[in-house]
Amino acid sequence: ICDGCSITQNTLFYELGISNFPFNAKGPSPLLLHASSSSSSFLCLQFSRQIHPMAAIARLLKPSSPSSSISSFLKRSVSTTTAVASEIESQHHQRPNLSDPKGSRNFQWVFLGCPGVGKGTYASRLSTLLGVPHIATGDLVRAELSSSGPLSRQLAEIVNQGKLVSDEIIFNLLSKRLEAGEAKGESGFILDGFPRTIRQAEILDEVTEIDLVVNLKLREDVLVEKCLGRRICSQCGKGFNVASINAKAENGRPGMSMAPLLPPSHCASKLITRADDTEEVVKARLHVYQETSKPVEDFYRDQGKLMEFDLPGGIPESWPKLLEALNLDDHEDERSAVA
C-alpha cells in the first residue's frame, strides 16, 4: 500500500537498484513501489511506462569504476574532499559528510541555485576540468521541447509559465540521459537543476551518494537582469549574455558589476532567447525556487554536504574563487584550458 495515495497493487516490491523489474500477471507492472530498506514506508511512483527509466537511474547511479581519463583526479578527490570539508567547517562550524566512497568512483556533485545564477556556466566548466559529464535537467527538458515528441506541447505549457515539470517526467528524461552516457562509458556527474524538489532529493539519496552540493548565490535584482540578458546560439548551442550589469551597493549589500559575455561574430546573427526568460516568467521561476527548491538546500545542509558560494561578480572574478573554494586552484593548466 502506497503511503502517498493508498493505492494497493499486487506486485513484487522493487527495491531500487537491487531487485529486478516488478512484474504482475499481465507483464510489467504499471505501478512501481519504491521500498525503502531503511524504513517501512512505500512510495508509489505510478510511473506506468517509466519503470525502465527509473530502474536505469538506480543502476546507472551505482558506483562504477573510474575511467582512465579521470583517474588522475581520483587521488585528488580525496584531498579535495578533505579541503572542501575544512573550508566548510571553518565557515559553518560543521563538517560535511564527504568521507567516501570516492576511492572507487568518480565525482558525484550537485549544483543548486536560483534561475540565472550561473549553475550551467560553472557546472559545465567544472565538468571539463574534472572529466565528468555535466547533466542539466533544464537542457533535457528543452531538448524534449524542441522535438516533436508527444510530451513537447505539454512541457511547453508548464515551462513557459515558469512552473516545474512533474518529477516523473524529469526522472524519465534523466534516466534516458544517464543510459546514453553509460553506453559511452561515462561515470560520475555534475547535476545542474536536479534535484529541485525534496522528493527528487530523497529519491536521488536512495539510489546514490552525493559527495558535494555547491549552492551558488547572487542578489535577486542581478539574477533577473542576467536572465533577461541570456542568449543562446541556435547553431552551436553556446550560451552568452548581453547584459552589462552595474548593481549599486544598497542595504549593506556590496555593489556588483558584470561585463557582458558577448558572442563571436559567427554566432552573433544566430542568437535566440529562451521563451521562459521574460521578466514575468523569471519572477515566477524565482518564486517557485523559493517555495519548492529552497528546502532542497536545507536537505543537503542537514547532511553537511552544502557548500555555500556567493558569486563575487562575473566569470573572471568568480571562476578563480570557486576553484579556490573547491581546492582546485592549483590546476593552472586545466584552468587555462577551460577559460
| Enzyme catalytic residues | 119, 196, 230, 274, 285
- Residue nearest ligand ADP, Cβ-based: 138
The residue from 171, 189, 194, 299 that contacts ligand ADP (CB under 6 A) is 194
Size of interface with ligand ADP, in residues (CB under 6 A): 18
Least Cα distance to 108 among 3, 157, 178, 34 occurs for: 178
Asked if 137 is part of the footprint of ligand ADP (rule: CB under 6 A), the reply reads: yes
Binder of ligand ADP out of 55, 60, 70, 141 (CB under 6 A): 141
3-state DSSP of 227-291: HHHEEEECCCCCEEECCCEEECCECCECCEEECCECCCHHHHCCEECCCCCCHHHHHHHHHHHHH
How far apart are CB 263 and ligand ADP at their closest, in Å? 19
Site for ligand ADP contains 267 (CB under 6 A) = no
Q: Could you tell me whether strands 42-44 and 33-35 are parallel, antiparallel, or unpaired per DSSP bridges?
A: antiparallel
Rule CB under 6 A: choose which of 53, 66, 96, 115 binds ligand ADP. 115
CA 158 to centroid of chain Cα atoms: 19
Residue 258: CB partners within 8 Å, gap ≥ 6? Answer: 222, 226, 241, 243, 244, 245, 313, 314
Judged by CB under 6 A, does residue 314 bind ligand ADP? no
CB of 175 to ligand ADP, least distance (A): 13
131 binds ligand ADP (CB under 6 A): no
Name the H helices within the chain: 51-60, 68-92, 119-130, 137-146, 152-159, 167-183, 198-207, 220-229, 265-268, 279-288, 294-302, 315-325, 332-338
CB of 304 to ligand ADP, least distance (A): 23
By the rule CB under 6 A, 216 interacts with ligand ADP: no
Q: Does 138 bind ligand ADP (CB under 6 A)?
A: yes
3-state secondary structure of 327: coil
Inter-CA distances, 275 with 132, 174, 192, 228, Å: 29, 22, 19, 11
For ligand ADP, give the closer residue by CB, 73 or 189.
189
Segment interacting with ligand ADP (CB under 6 A) among 87-95, 194-202, 314-322, 329-337: 194-202
Per CB under 6 A, 300 contacts ligand ADP? no
d(CA 102, CA 95): 17
Amino acid at 289: Y
**According to CB under 6 A, which one of 105, 231, 285, 305 is a site residue for ligand ADP?**
285
Of 33, 110, 164, 213, the residue at the interface with ligand ADP (CB under 6 A) is 164
69 to 88: interface string for ligand ADP, x by CB under 6 A = --------------------
Q: How far is the CB of 78 from ligand ADP (least distance, A)?
A: 30
Q: Which residues bind ligand ADP (CB under 6 A)?
A: 115-116, 137-138, 141, 158-159, 162-165, 170, 193-194, 196, 200, 276, 285
